[in-house]
Structure formats: C-alpha cells, structure tokens
Amino acid sequence: MEKPSKIAPAKGKLGVLLPGMGAVSTTFMAGVELVRKGKSQPVGSLTQMGTIRLGKRTDARSPLIKKFVPLAELTDLKFGGWDIFKDNAYQSAANAGVLNPQDLEKVKPFLSTIKPMKAAFDHDFVKLIEGPNIKKGKNKYELALQIKEDIANFRKTSRASRLVTCWCGSTESFVKPEDVHSTPEKFIEAMKSNHPAIAPSMLYAWASVTSGVPFANGAPNLTVDIPAIQKLAHDHNVAICGKDFKTGQTLMKTILAPGFKARMLGLEGWFSTNILGNRDGEVLEDPGSFKTKEESKLSVLEYILQPDLYPQLYGKMCHKVRINYYPPRGDNKEGWDNIDIFGWLGYPMQIKVDFLCRDSILAAPIVLDLVLFLDLAQRAGMRGIQEWLSFYFKSPMTAPGLYPEHDLFIQSMKLKNTLRWMKGEDLITHLGQEYYD
C-alpha cells in the first residue's frame, strides 16, 4: 500500500450506519451524545483520549491522536441503522439496561429521534430471536438493493458528506467460505438464487462497499472475510476491517498471553467460561451461532503462543471456551478463566481471573474509534483490509495467507506506527541506542 500523499480534510457531516440497534449501538450513540453535551468523558476511546509519541523520548512531543491526524469531530456524527425490532434508540437502550435511567434521561430526546430501518433477516442464521421489522423481497439480491437504497436515502436526509457502516448485529450461524464467495459475479448470482451460504451481514457489506462506504465487522461472522467483498473493496476504493469486537475475556487473553510468552512460561491449559444475558447471550444459545463465536475466541492463544515454535511450552496446551446464557446477568457479562501455567523445572502454578465486565461499555468506544479511523483511512485513499485496526478485533483480518497478529501490544504499536507513517513521521522501534551513542 502506498503512503498517502495527502489526507483529505474531515469536512462536513459523517454518517454512521449501524446494522443492529441493540445494546452496543445504543450505548455508543448515547455515549457520544453525553460526551457532546459535556455530561461525561469518552473513557476507553483511543481517538478521544489517547496520545501518540513523535520523535525521540527527549523531544517531548506527545500530542493527542485527534490533534495529530484529521479525525471527524464528535459534533459532526449523524446516526442511523437497521433492526428487526421497531423500537427507537431510546426504547432499545432502555430495554438493554446498560445505562442507568439518569444517563438515559439526559439523551432521551436525541435517542428518540433515531428509528431503525427495516432489517434484512434470515432465521436460518439467527434462530433464537424474531422481530417484526423485516424487509421483504423475492431474493437476497433484492434485499441487498433495498439496503443500498437505504444508504442513499440516509446520505441525503442526514446531509452527510461521508458514511461508515459498522456491523453491531447478532452473531450468525457458522459458515465456511464457498465458491459462491470467490468473486463478485458469483456472489451476485448466489444472492439472486438465495444461496444458503449468503448471510444477512454479507448483504450489508455488499451494499455498503458497492456504495463506496467503509465497513467494519464487529461480530465473528464471515461477512467481509471473503474474496468477493475484498475484491469489491479494492475496485470501489473502500476500506474494510474486522472481525469481532475485542472486549472482555479475549481482551484479557491478548494482555496476559504475550506476558507468558515473553517470559517463556509454559501453558498447560486455559479454561474460559462466560455468563451473559441480553440478546447476545440469547442468540449464542443456538449451537450454530456459538460455533461462530467459539472459532473467533479459540484462535487467539494459538496465534500468540505459536506452539509450533515452542512445543515444550505450548505444544500440549488444552484450551476450552464455554458460553452460558444467564438472563439475570443482563449486559454485565462475567468472564471466568482458570489458567494452568508452569515455570522453572516444570513446576506448576495457577492464575484465576474473574472479569465482571460490562460488555457494551467496553464495545462502545471501539465502535467510535473504528468509525473515525475508517473514515480517516478512506480520506487517505487506503482501500481494502485495514490490518492496522487489528487492535480492536478478536479475529483480525489479514491479507490472504498471512497469519494475524493477536498480541495487543504489537497491535497497538502497529496502529500508532501506521498513523505516524500516514503523516510522514519517523516510525518508533523502541531500540533507543541513539541515547547511548
């Protein structure tokens, strides 16, 4: 990818389109509005609170990221989305129960104006929920064209000069790549024939990319991990990224596992269980949807620890993941980990982690950062897979044949170095020999 010769300014409104207006989407929108009104702080958002070191440590140059690169202002964000339920964003947020009534009341007038468009839905991909706000069409291609029309209408009514789509919908049933995903032409024919391997999320991705709109995939669905959509992203000069927001338990794994590997501590086993409620937990009760999520969560340790390179330390590790739907927990997910490690001379030790996290509170700033960074990438002419945004995902997208980098600290360095590269600043290697010459 060529270095951007120029980054277009962030002029005008930035429209944010959200397939799935549930807990994550409404927490994101409510949070942005609370920050805009000066009622809260954007904690967890790298774009809003993070700094970036430039030059040597002795130069004392560490501006805010949002001052270093031309990001859209929060005041310029306009929101829209689709959902299978007719509830407006305020009603949906109240049902999700993530934010307390006092905070929701402060943004009720704003959220009440955001009403979902009818969603493309296929019961074969999300079996355990139903909703009345559904698009009708003779085939999946018609539904995709309706989504394209929605995008065009939103662009017009919101008066946005640029758009970004971020999938915040449910985890779909597990799908393997097939021949129908291989080219844009075969993909269109598959939509027209209602092929069972064409998931609803893929319709949103196709409609967005062919409309020139960047797309982020926040679920573990296949969606944009197929050659057809990736080819279209290049052809239409559109930035894409994914997949599966890295929030609770997997976030902890990408923090802890690099530490074990850095110290050459062995891992005998890692058992993870999750207790969660809300719509996410309900959907994951279905074995097909759970399989999709499991694949995403299981891949992390294998890639970080590289058992092929370190067979004595990680060659026999046992990695188990369980997800349990427990309605009383609501959005306050509990991720419990039992980690069996071993050290010098093979002596065993244990670590236990009980992360009582708030899933949507962790996901909302990820959505904000992805929206702003994807818009930046688009204005810089960076098309196709944006691997530098791996920092935000459980299963980061990469070029074909390239293994993903899961180490959170390497991902962070990759992200910041990409920003430096975009602006013509020296990359930071942390070698530091120049201080001792």
pLDDT value at position 283? 66
Residue 328 in this model has a pLDDT that exceeds 70: yes
Task: Give the model's confidence band at 289: pLDDT under 50 very low, under 70 low, under 90 confident, else very high.
Answer: low
Q: Dump pLDDT digits (tens) for 370-426.
A: 999 999 999 999 999 999 999 999 999 999 889 999 999 999 999 999 999 999 999
Cα(298)–Cα(435) distance, integer angstroms: 42
Q: What is the mean pLDDT of residues 259-276?
A: 95
pLDDT of residue 5: 74
* Mean predicted confidence (pLDDT) in 84-93: 97
Nearest C-alpha neighbor of 89 from the set 44, 43, 158, 24: 24
* 159-175 residue pLDDT tens: 999 999 999 998 898 88
Q: What is the pLDDT of residue 3?
A: 75
d(CA 359, CA 357): 6
**CB-based contact 230:384 (threshold 8 Å):** yes
Contacts with 158 (C-beta within 8 Å, 6 or more apart), sequence order: 13, 15, 78, 80
Q: Is the pLDDT of residue 288 over 90?
A: no
Residue 130 has a pLDDT of 85
What pLDDT score was predicted for residue 123? 87
CA distance 95 to 98: 8
- The residue-averaged pLDDT of 1-22 equals 91
Alpha-carbon span 172 to 225, nearest angstrom: 14
Q: Are 124 and 196 in contact, with CB atoms under 8 Å apart? A: yes
Residue 285 clears pLDDT 70, i.e. is over it: no
pLDDT in tens, 106-150: 999 999 999 999 999 998 888 778 889 999 999 999 999 999 999
Least confident of 5-19, 90-104, 291-305, 412-426: 291-305
pLDDT in the model for residue 363: 96
Q: What is the pLDDT of residue 107?
A: 98
Could you tell me which residues come within 8 angstroms of residue 343 by beta carbon, excluding any fewer than 6 positions away?
A: 265, 266, 349
